[in-house]
Amino acid sequence: MDTLTPEQRRKCMSRIKSKDTTIETLLRKALWHEGIRYRKNYKKLPGKPDIAITKYKIAIFCDGELWHGKGWDVKKDTIESNREYWIRKIEHNINRDNKIEKELERLGWIVVRFWGQKIKKNLIGCVNEIKEIIYEVKNGIYYPDECINVNIAVESESEYS
């Protein structure tokens, strides 16, 4: 059961950031340090990717585990308070992410998604994955069919499907 009053809960929820989060800032600074230039929250693309490397058509999303449903099949069974609302909300987010990803791919963009904890624990690995994609695109050897979801290269299994 929720220990906060509705007003306290509303105040807490209103402080959750949708852009310039810690994980986005960490990844952006690391990319900038490597000389990789980008646009942040690129409004010209569906879903406003957190980071868009326009030169190579790479759209990067930094996803929080809760809001984007990491391990959702297991986690949704553990929700106790306001169950219907949260299940509907998180599943809507997952469906929206999938729709945006397909639209970006249709437009010729490479979509990369990183979980927040992966960015925090393996920032260098995330940056190296992006550098590898840039290298492959530059040299004409990137084959999207072989990398159905780029996030599986950093995370052992995709949680977005």
Give the DSSP per-residue string, 56-120: GTEEEEEE-HHHHTTTHHHHGGG--SSHHHHHHHHHHHHHHHHHHHHHHHHTT-EEEEEEHHHHH
Q: Residue 36: how many CA atoms within 13 Å on its side-chain side? A: 24
- Position 156 scores a pLDDT of 40
Q: What is the pLDDT of residues 107-122, one digit of tens each?
A: 999 999 999 999 999 9
- Position 148 scores a pLDDT of 40
pLDDT category at 150 given cuts 50, 70, 90 is: very low
The token pair that represents 70 in the structure block:
């990491």
Write down the pTM of the prediction: 0.79
